[in-house]
């Protein structure tokens, strides 16, 4: 940090792929009190410009491929003073990480930071407006991910965890950084840029990976392959997070591998909110029970706690004491911060119910719930019904405006390869009938778009919801 001219409290955008330097740089930031802001390498020049200006970051760290993209906006960025490149080559106006590292002292005294001081900021996109900046303190991830590592990931020092995520997303902090670090476990990582099912399957059989964490999409894509021909010799714990897990995917995985999938539910603003841990009964379709130290409840619009079985807003108690592992606030946005609270609770923005056993069931994002002819329809349930059909590899359900019903259910589906040549019109009718049978008839997708499976799919969460 001295060589760069950075000091405690300065903000740095770290936009790097999964390379070892990502970890050394962020640990370096923690030790020097510099606030690091992870960014995905998929950002465009406009996205980078927005993030540099909004965060007032003094420095950006990236690689040689992305450096020219940064340079295309640098003249408009009055806060950006330092550009640092992790690469083999050099570039005008950029500091060279490898050179700086060579020249650095081997001794370093970390600065003193308070537990509630800012450690990192994540940009997170909502369904509307610009991305918000979510600030987390040193204790938030540093201590708050203890229960994630110990109970949900079930890690000990002999484990090797492979979490499939990009450093720009908070899921990476869960499954590739803090939780395994706290537990003294080893992590496995792979530099693949795009998800490739055969690469993943080969790694799981070649290397002694004991624990694997992916999104439901990952499991779906893997289940498309002939998994039974692979032997996962060390794998013993499979985890899913990032979006709700469909019961159908779980069944498929179990029938092919003999292993269950343990679901975890979290947000950029939180650490783990709910999870299914080893030893707990698995209820397919449920996100598990509240994860310590959170007190999670389903509440109504007046912040009253609802009884089991009643749909409401999934919320975390923040009074009298805000949990140390909840985000501190939205940076420079007290209004958004205030809007995320209701009575004694932080509102996740997700709708759900809790059952008699304390298991939480996801219904949909509050913003995503479809209001059709006075009916409230949760997209997740319709997606699950579609997924049960053999023709469907992927399904995303959204609201679509309608002059008569206000909104109607619209589904985007990707077909399994075997169904690629089926008549789309006939298939649409069949899928609609199928959903009517699987759930209440009023929930069937009146609009349906079919795409043929293309073999490769980027690892992403429910981005398609905001693509409409």
Q: Shortest approach of ligand NAG to residue 458 CB, angstroms?
A: 12
Q: Determine the Cα–Cα distance for residues 216 and 198; give it in Å rounded to an integer.
A: 17
Beta carbons of 415 and 453 less than 8 angstroms apart: yes
- 244 counts as binding ligand NAG under rule CB under 6 A: no
- Interactions with ligand NAG, residue window 66-95 (CB under 6 A): 66
> Under the criterion CB under 6 A, does residue 64 sit at the interface with ligand NAG?
yes
Q: Give the integer Cα–Cα distance in Å for 156 and 310.
A: 38
Residue 196 CB, shortest distance to ligand NAG, in Å, is 15
Residue from the set 193, 454, 463, 468 that interacts with ligand NAG by CB under 6 A: 193
Q: Which is nearer to ligand NAG, 46 or 156 (CB)?
A: 46
Kindly indicate which of the ranges 64-72, 253-261, 273-281, 436-444 contains the residues binding ligand NAG, using the contact rule CB under 6 A. Answer: 64-72
**Alpha-helical runs (H) found in 38-149:** 45-55, 67-71, 97-103, 138-144, 146-147
Contact residue for ligand NAG among 53, 63, 268, 461 (CB under 6 A): 63
| Residue 17 in the binding site for ligand NAG (CB under 6 A) | yes
Question: Is residue 44 a contact point for ligand NAG (CB under 6 A)?
Answer: no
What part of residues 293-312 is at the interface with ligand NAG (CB under 6 A)? none
Q: Could you say whether residue 333 binds ligand NAG (CB under 6 A)?
A: no
Could you tell me the smallest distance in angstroms from the CB atom of residue 384 to ligand NAG? 33
Minimum CB–partner distance for residue 195 and ligand NAG (Å): 13
**Which candidate, 411, 466, 403, places its Cα nearest to that of 435?**
411
Query: Site residues for ligand NAG, window 247-266 (CB under 6 A)?
Result: none
Comparing CB distances to ligand NAG, the nearer of 65 and 116 is 65
Q: How many residues bind ligand NAG (CB under 6 A)?
A: 7
- Binding piece for ligand NAG, criterion CB under 6 A, among 59-67, 70-78, 112-120, 353-361: 59-67
Per the CB < 8 A criterion, the answer to whether 53 and 77 are in contact is yes
If the CB atoms of residues 144 and 168 are measured against ligand NAG, the closer one turns out to be: 168
Cβ closest to ligand NAG, residue 168 vs residue 244: 168
* Closer CB to ligand NAG, 39 or 354, in the complex: 39
Residue number, 41 or 224, with CB nearest to ligand NAG? 41
Tokens read off for 173: 């902090």
CB 42, min distance to ligand NAG, A = 8
Where do the DSSP E strands lie in 343-446?
Answer: 345-354, 360-365, 370-372, 375-377, 392-402, 406-415
Cβ at position 72, least distance to ligand NAG in Å: 16
Query: What Å distances lie between residue 284 and 33, 220, 267, 359, 380, CA to CA?
Result: 42, 15, 21, 11, 13
CB of 41 to ligand NAG, least distance (A): 4
How many whole angstroms separate alpha carbon 386 and alpha carbon 74?
46
Q: In 3-state terms, what secondary structure has residue 460? A: coil
Nearer to ligand NAG, 47 or 341 (CB): 47
Nearest to 63 by CA among 37, 42, 84: 84
For 92, phi and psi rounded to 5 degrees?
-60, 130
Q: Does 65 bind ligand NAG (CB under 6 A)?
A: yes
In the complex, the smallest distance separating the C-beta of residue 256 from ligand NAG, rounded to whole angstroms, is: 31
Q: What is the nearest approach in angstroms of ligand NAG to the Cβ of residue 18?
A: 8
Task: State both tokens at 462.
Answer: 């429910």
Burial class (CB in 10 A: 0-12, 13-18, 19+), 382: buried
Would you say 165 and 172 are in contact if contact means Cβ atoms under 8 Å apart? yes
Helix 379-387 to helix 247-257 angle (10° resolution) is 40
Cα 446 to Cα 343, 397, 408: the distances in Å are 38, 11, 7
Judged by CB under 6 A, does residue 168 bind ligand NAG?
A: no
C-alpha to C-alpha distances, 132 to 125, 129, 325, 349, 434, nearest whole angstrom:
6, 9, 18, 14, 39
Which parts of this chain interact with ligand NAG (CB under 6 A)?
A: 17, 41, 63-66, 193
């Amino acid at each position: 940090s001295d060589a760069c001219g950075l000091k405690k409290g300065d903000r740095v955008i770290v936009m790097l792929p999964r390379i070892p330097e990502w970890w050394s740089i962020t640990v370096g930031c923690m030790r020097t009190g510099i606030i690091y802001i992870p960014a995905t390498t998929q950002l465009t020049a406009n996205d980078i410009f927005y993030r540099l200006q909004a965060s007032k970051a003094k420095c950006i760290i990236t690689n040689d491929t992305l450096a020219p993209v940064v340079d295309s906006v640098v003249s408009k960025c009055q806060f950006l003073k330092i550009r640092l490149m992790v690469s083999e080559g050099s570039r005008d106006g950029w500091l060279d990480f490898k050179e700086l590292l060579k020249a650095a002292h081997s001794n370093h005294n970390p600065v003193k930071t308070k537990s509630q001081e800012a450690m990192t900021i994540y940009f997170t996109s909502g369904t509307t407006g610009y991305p918000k900046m979510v600030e987390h303190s040193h204790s938030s991830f540093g201590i708050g991910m203890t229960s994630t590592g110990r109970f949900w990931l079930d890690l000990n020092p002999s484990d090797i965890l492979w979490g499939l995520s990009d450093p720009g997303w908070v899921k990476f902090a869960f499954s590739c950084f803090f939780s395994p670090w706290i537990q003294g476990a080893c992590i496995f990582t792979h530099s693949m840029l795009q998800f490739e099912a055969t690469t993943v399957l080969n790694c799981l059989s070649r290397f002694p990976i004991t624990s694997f964490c992916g999104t439901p999409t990952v499991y779906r894509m893997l289940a498309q392959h002939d998994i039974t021909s692979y032997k996962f010799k060390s794998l013993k714990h499979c985890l899913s997070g990032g979006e709700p897990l469909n019961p159908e995917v779980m069944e498929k995985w179990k029938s092919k591998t003999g292993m269950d999938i343990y679901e975890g539910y979290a947000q950029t603003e939180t650490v783990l909110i709910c999870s299914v841990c080893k030893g707990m009964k698995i209820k397919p379709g449920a996100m598990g029970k509240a994860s310590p130290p959170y007190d999670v409840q389903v509440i109504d619009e007046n912040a009253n706690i609802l009884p089991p079985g009643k749909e409401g807003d999934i919320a975390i108690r923040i009074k009298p004491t805000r949990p140390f592992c909840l985000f501190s606030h939205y940076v420079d946005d007290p209004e958004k911060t205030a809007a995320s609270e209701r009575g004694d609770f932080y509102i996740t923005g997700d709708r759900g119910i809790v059952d008699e056993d304390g298991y939480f069931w996801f219904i949909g994002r509050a913003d995503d719930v479809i209001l059709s002819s006075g009916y409230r329809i949760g997209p997740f349930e319709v997606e699950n019904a579609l997924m049960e059909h053999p023709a469907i590899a992927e399904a995303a359900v959204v609201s679509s405006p309608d002059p008569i019903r206000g909104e109607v259910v619209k589904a985007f589906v990707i077909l399994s390869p075997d169904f690629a040549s089926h008549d789309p019109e006939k298939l649409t009718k069949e899928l609609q009938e199928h959903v009517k049978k699987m759930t209440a008839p009023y929930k069937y997708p009146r609009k349906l778009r079919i795409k043929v499976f293309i073999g490769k799919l980027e690892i992403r969460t429910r981005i398609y919801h905001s693509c409409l």
